[in-house]
Amino acid sequence: MSDSVLRNVVRRETHSPRTAAMLVVVVLLLLVLAYAAVEIILNLVGAPPLLVAPGAALAAVVAAPTALMPVAFIVGGVVLALVGLVVLILALGPGRLARHEMSWGERAVVVDNGVVASAVAQHLSNDSGIARDDIVVGVAHRTVDVTVRPAVGIPVDEAQLRRSVEEEIASYKLTPTVRTRLRVERPDTKESR
Q: What is the pLDDT, as a whole number, of residue 41? A: 92
The pTM score is: 0.61
Taking CA atoms, 163 is separated from 130, 171, 181, in Å, by: 15, 12, 11
Per-residue pLDDT reduced to its tens digit, 4-32: 766 777 676 776 767 777 788 789 889 99
First to last CA, the chain: 66
Per-residue pLDDT reduced to its tens digit, 32-63: 999 999 999 998 999 999 888 888 888 887 88
Phi–psi pair at 109, nearest 5 degrees: -125, 120
Per-residue pLDDT reduced to its tens digit, 94-151: 677 788 888 777 777 888 999 999 999 999 999 988 889 999 999 998 999 999 998 8
Beta bridge partners of 159: none
| Residue 4: how many other CB atoms lie within 10 Å | 8
Please tell me whether residue 48 adopts helix, strand or coil conformation.
coil
Where along the chain do the CATH 3.30.300 domains lie? 99-184
CATH of 99-184, one of 1.10.101, 3.30.300, 2.60.40, 3.30.420: 3.30.300
The strand order across the sheet containing 179-184 reads 135-139, 143-148, 179-184
